[in-house]
Structure 1
Amino acid sequence: MNILVFGKDGQLGKAFQSVLTDQKLGEHRIHYVGRAQCDLSNADAITNLLRETKPNLIINAAAYTAVDQAEQEIDLAYAINANAPAILAQYAVKEGATLLHYSTDYVFDGTKTTAYFESDARNPLGVYGKSKAAGEEAIEKVFAAHPNPQAQFAILRTSWVYGDGGNFIRTILRLARERESLKVIANQYGVPTSAPWLASISLAMVLDENHQLRSFPSGLYHAIPQGETTWYELACFSVQVALDAGADLKLRPDRIIAIPASEYPLPAPRPMNSRLARSALDALMNQISKGSDVTKWQQWQQSWQEPVADYVQDLVLHKRS
């Protein structure tokens, strides 16, 4: 089997490299590509790469993610987040391949007071969210227009991703070394998602115990750990874990000040509520776990605190924050 992973230099792409290496898929050919190998804003480059690698499984972990910059770079955001997924979907339906594509809580406006379901209407606020929503719709339309029983897709929406790269947790820990107090938004809700956790869950979803492709219902899935939090609570938790692990920080959790989002304006609007209901993937993971490795189900059932704590402790241990 040929596996093609886009976004090798991003947090999720790096996580896939690590997880796929750990799984020792020696019988499979895995191609990792980043911007240097394939410009996702160039349709011909994508088509040529697909023709050369002939993937059976496409993992699109790449995206235009500069939320504020997207307000100025509209065409580029749509080229990468909407046009590129459409090309990948067209290849998948033609060749009977499986497509894993990653999306975001930003496809919603955040006005709902409870968690969003996959079936809730998209209503993105800014260009980034609109381009990601357009990518979701493009994949759905391509598969609907060209049904192929051998082809399947999963659009996995997630939120607040962190891993090997720049992210909120690392920023907080860096500032915690420099400052004795810090203001953090306390009225935006979501779920921190570990990139390695997401990569592992994704592979459990699409590969069976023999590392072969399994069949699953094509569609939208929300992939986030259990629970919910705010940026403020995440900052407090991360700082406390770092202190407990022996980090030399000036900041203490009781010196982190909760503020409303209105006190920290940004060029692009953010959804106030990024909570995602995970019932669809819950049902699938429950089915997958029956008669198989129970550790996959246990990993799926993790709360957000467990992988965050592991991540922070690793950063402190290796002095990488």
Structure 2
Amino acid sequence: MKKILVTGANGQLGSELSVLSVSYPEFEWIFADRTKVTLDNVELLKNQLAEIRPDIIFNCGAYTAVDKAETEKELAFTVNHLAVELISKYTFKNNIKLIHISTDYVFDGISSSALNEETETNPINVYGESKLAGESACLNENPNAIIIRTSWVYSKFGNNFVKTMQRLMQERDEIYVVNDQIGSPTYAADLAQVMIDILRFSNWFPGIYNYSNEGEISWYEFALSIKEFGNYNCNVGGIPSSSYPTPAKRPNFSLLDKKKIKETYNIQISDYKKSLKKMFI
């Protein structure tokens, strides 16, 4: 029985994989939180991997505090770059399949058309820089790895935009959401299923792939959909990013082109509203 190690077990994606794992008993699933797989301590990580001896790694663990990364650069790079480098070396040396999760934040957001896997990267914040360094290390150390770039991830687990909006819409009469950052959300449950589908596909095609749900929207429009499905009475207004300054800059446009993953792995991708509705059921 093949052993799958999932890092970041308590995160959104790790939690959704845990839910799905019961439907795939042909695998032995190891869900590792930061105590089992310590991504911020590379020396310790090396020993932990040798002890677990997985056949497949889903690297969902990451440093994702985008604003805090501006002042915690060393920690962000340790987790998102150095740990990925070590995992990539380990998986290549031991002929282990690796799916590593990356982000739309490797782009600068100045494009006006959907970003494909060949689009030039140019991160505008420390988090994006650290994730791009991780991608480069992954490709350099393990050319057989698969990297999936995703965007605007949400789930019923963990902290995310949808859950924040649900809370605020119940607490307040009025909220304002940025309306000039464009992209598409990703329901973590959908991405988790895609990772399993890729693993079980007849062939393994390494490289970088984009994945998010279908649709081209702003955060403001996303909030309106949340209001609709939650049947909240809160008024939702749109504001420019300039009215809501944050320590880290965000890309204004990060819509991902998913053609490659759809064609290579025969992946069907649902519209963002259809997936959002599933979370509310």
Range into which the TM-score falls when normalised by the shorter chain: over 0.9
Letter in 1 for 2:164: T
Q: Provide the residue aligned with 1:239 in structure 2.
A: 227
Q: Provide the residue aligned with 2:146 in structure 1.
A: 154
Q: Provide the residue aligned with 1:292 in structure 2.
A: none
Q: Provide the residue aligned with 2:246 in structure 1.
A: 266
Q: Provide the residue aligned with 1:110 in structure 2.
A: 109
Letter in 1 for 2:119: D
The offset of 1:116, in angstroms, is: 0.7
TM-score normalized by the length of structure 1: 0.84
Question: Is 1:306 the equivalent of 2:274?
Answer: yes
Distance in 1 between residues matched to 2:229 and 2:248, nearest whole Å: 31
- Length, aligned pairs only: 279
Give the secondary-structure state (helix, strand or coil) at the position aligned to 1:22.
coil
The offset of 1:215, in angstroms, is: 3.0
Q: Provide the residue aligned with 1:226 in structure 2.
A: 214
Give the secondary-structure state (helix, strand or coil) at the position aligned to 2:43.
helix
Distance in 1 between residues matched to 2:52 and 2:39, nearest whole Å: 16
Q: Provide the residue aligned with 1:182 in structure 2.
A: 175
Distance in 2 between residues matched to 1:38 and 1:143, nearest whole Å: 20
Distance in 2 between residues matched to 1:32 and 1:180, nearest whole Å: 40
- Decide which of 164, 183, 189 is 1:196's aligned counterpart: 189
Letter in 1 for 2:264: L
Runs of 4+ with >4 A deviation = none
Q: Provide the residue aligned with 2:237 in structure 1.
A: 257
Distance in 2 between residues matched to 1:41 and 1:165, nearest whole Å: 20
| Pairing 1:123-142 to 2, within 5 Å after superposition | 123-142=122-141
Q: Percent identity?
A: 35
Distance in 2 between residues matched to 1:266 and 1:196, nearest whole Å: 28
Letter in 1 for 2:273: Q
Letter in 1 for 2:240: P
Letter in 1 for 2:167: R
Question: Is 1:281 the equivalent of 2:267?
Answer: no
Give the secondary-structure state (helix, strand or coil) at the position aligned to 2:116.
coil
Distance in 1 between residues matched to 2:36 and 2:48, nearest whole Å: 9
The offset of 1:14, in angstroms, is: 0.4
Give the secondary-structure state (helix, strand or coil) at the position aligned to 1:220.
strand
- Structure 2 unaligned residues grouped into runs of 5+: none
The offset of 1:24, in angstroms, is: 2.6
Deviations along 1:250-309, one digit per CA (max 9) or x if unpaired, are 41xxx21111111100000000001010111011122xxxxxxxxxx5xx2311111101
Q: Is the 8 A contact 1:228 1:304 kept in 2?
A: no
Letter in 1 for 2:107: F
Distance in 2 between residues matched to 1:200 and 1:110, nearest whole Å: 28
Max radius of gyration: which structure? 1
Distance in 2 between residues matched to 1:201 and 1:227, nearest whole Å: 18
**What is the root-mean-square deviation of aligned Cα atoms in Å?**
1.2
Letter in 1 for 2:46: T
TM-score normalized by the length of structure 2: 0.96
Letter in 1 for 2:31: Y
Distance in 2 between residues matched to 1:143 and 1:193, nearest whole Å: 26
- Structure 1 unaligned residues grouped into runs of 5+: 145-151, 209-213, 244-248, 287-296, 315-321
Q: Is the 8 A contact 1:179 1:250 kept in 2?
A: no
Deviations along 1:94-124, one digit per CA (max 9) or x if unpaired, are 1111100000000000000111111111100
Q: Provide the residue aligned with 1:170 in structure 2.
A: 163
